[in-house]
Amino acid sequence: MLDYFALGLLIFVGIVLFYGIIVLHDIPYEIAQHRNHPHQDAIHAAGWVSLFTLHALWPFLWIWAMLYREDRGWGFSAGKGAGSREAELLSELEELRQRIERLEGQTAASPTAGREE
C-alpha cells in the first residue's frame, strides 16, 4: 500500500515540476504581452529555447521583456513618447497665444475696460 502511495506521489511531483518549469519560462512572454512588446514572438520562442539551454537565457529574456513599456518605449532616448509630449506642449502654447490675442483685442475694443476709476 505504501509503495503505491509513494509511486503516486512521485508521479504527482514529476508532473507539477514539469508544468511548473513551463509556466516559469513563460513569465517573460507574459510580461511582454502585458506591456505590448514589439518582440513578443521572439521572446516566446527564446523562452522555449531556454528550456533546452538549461535556463541560461531566461534572465536575459526577463530583462528584454522588462525593458520595453508602451508609454515610454525603450527608455534609452527621447523616443516617440517625448515627441508626442513636445507636440502637445506646442499646441497648448499656441492655444494660449490665441487666447492672449483675443483678450488683448477685447481690451483694445472697449476703452473703459483697462482703466480704473
pLDDT (tens digit, 9 = 90+) per residue, 12-55? Answer: 999 999 999 989 989 999 999 999 999 999 999 999 999 889 88
Q: Which of 9-23, 43-57, 60-74, 100-114 has the lowest mean pLDDT?
A: 100-114
Model pLDDT, residue 7: 96
Task: Identify the band that residue 75 occupies on the pLDDT scale cut at 50, 70 and 90.
Answer: confident
Name the residue among 1, 16, 48, 6 with its Cα closest to residue 29.
Answer: 48
